[in-house]
Amino acid sequence: MAATAMDHDGGEVVTPGELLGNSSLLAGLGAYADGRCVRASITGHRRLVPPPPGSTDQRSTVEVVGHKAHGAVPQPGSVVIARVTKVMARMASADIMCVDAKAVKEKFTGMIRQQDVRATEIDKVDMFQSYRPGDIVRALVLSLGDARAYYLSTAQNELGVVSAQSITGGTLVPISWTEMQCELTGQIEQRKVAKVE
């Protein structure tokens, strides 16, 4: 009996974090194992792929096929460009716009936790002096985090804010790794600045 791929591109549409099955399935592309469950990591169509003939593991693989042209998807170790959307006392959230210099085609959210802002004096990090909503940051993907967001880090010198606007709407120019200056007013604002080459 020949095994055929079920749900080929016509399977149900799933979104990130949605349950695809239990541990009787292997997580394939666009999916990840979450304890005893397999969940979607991208938006797309659920697809089951049978095990290859002669495989010792007889579990089928469940994957999610992007319903748009495959855009870039953040992976642990990827460098991303993201726009900060919200800053809280212990973390900042950001929308990921580019992964390894490729634009994303769907919405991915990243979280920068207080301990991942910089490599030194972690206990003294003030999130409100590191980022502001609207800042563009270069960050490293640490892990998938929870189903809603990727964990991002700006702890390396070349990571951090790469572009920002001042409170008055002027462009901020980096003057040190913790400060940026408004071109219009000369006012200095605190940021976790990415080292300029």
The pLDDT of residue 182:
96
The domain 79-190 is placed in CATH, from the list 3.30.830.10, 1.10.357.10, 2.60.40.10, 2.40.50.140, at 2.40.50.140
Q: What is each CA distance from 177 to 101, 156, 181, 197, in whole angstroms? A: 23, 11, 12, 12
Which pLDDT band, with edges at 50, 70 and 90, does 12 fall under? confident
- Give the global pTM: 0.66
In sequence order, the 6+-apart residues with CB closer than 8 A to the CB of 101 are none
**Which sequence spans correspond to the domains of the chain?**
13-66, 79-190
Residue 96 CA, distance from chain mean position = 6
Rounded to whole angstroms, the Cα distance separating 134 from 91 reads 15
Query: Hey, is 18 helix, strand or coil?
Result: coil
The pLDDT of residue 69:
53
Mean pLDDT, residues 44-56 taken together: 84
- Residues 27 and 33: beta-carbon distance below 8 Å: yes
Structurally, at CATH architecture level, domain 13-66 sits in: Beta Barrel (2.40)
13-66 and 79-190 agree in CATH topology: yes
Which pLDDT band, with edges at 50, 70 and 90, does 17 fall under? confident
Rounded to whole angstroms, the Cα distance separating 87 from 146 reads 18
The pLDDT of residue 174:
95
Chain segment 67-113, per-residue pLDDT in tens: 555 567 888 899 999 999 999 999 999 999 999 888 887 889 999 99
The pLDDT of residue 40:
87
- Residues 26 and 58: beta-carbon distance below 8 Å: no
- Residue 93 has phi, psi (to 5 degrees) of -105, 155
